[in-house]
Amino acid sequence: MDPKKIAKQTFDFYRSTFENTFKALSMLQEQSQRMMDMYLEQTTGFPEEGKKAIREWVNAYRKGSQDFKKVVDESFARVDRFFAAEAKEKK
């Protein structure tokens, strides 16, 4: 079997694994955020400064996750272009 084909299949597997894992973790984070929001709304006596700090932390986490996903997607696109160029040269 062609080593380049094996490398492409391995890369596709890694990308699929990353996508599925990232989606699962994102769903977990969203669910945790909903639970935290409900907790903060229902808890009496929790200072507004604390609520604000938690919401800022959640927003920072979300932005960091989105930035990470963007960088990984750009890297996957670079590797795709590499394999596309290799396939084009082969023909």
User: In the prediction, which pLDDT does 91 show?
Assistant: 65
Contacts of 18 (CB under 8 A, 6+ apart): 72, 76
The structure's pTM equals: 0.81
User: In the prediction, which pLDDT does 83 show?
Assistant: 87
Measured CA to CA, the distance from residue 76 to residue 18 in angstroms comes to 10
SS3 track for 30-81? HHHHHHHHHHHHHCCCCCHHHHHHHHHHHHHHHHHHHHHHHHHHHHHHHHHH
**Residue 76, phi then psi, degrees to nearest 5:** -60, -40
Q: Is residue 16 pLDDT above 90, yes or no?
A: yes
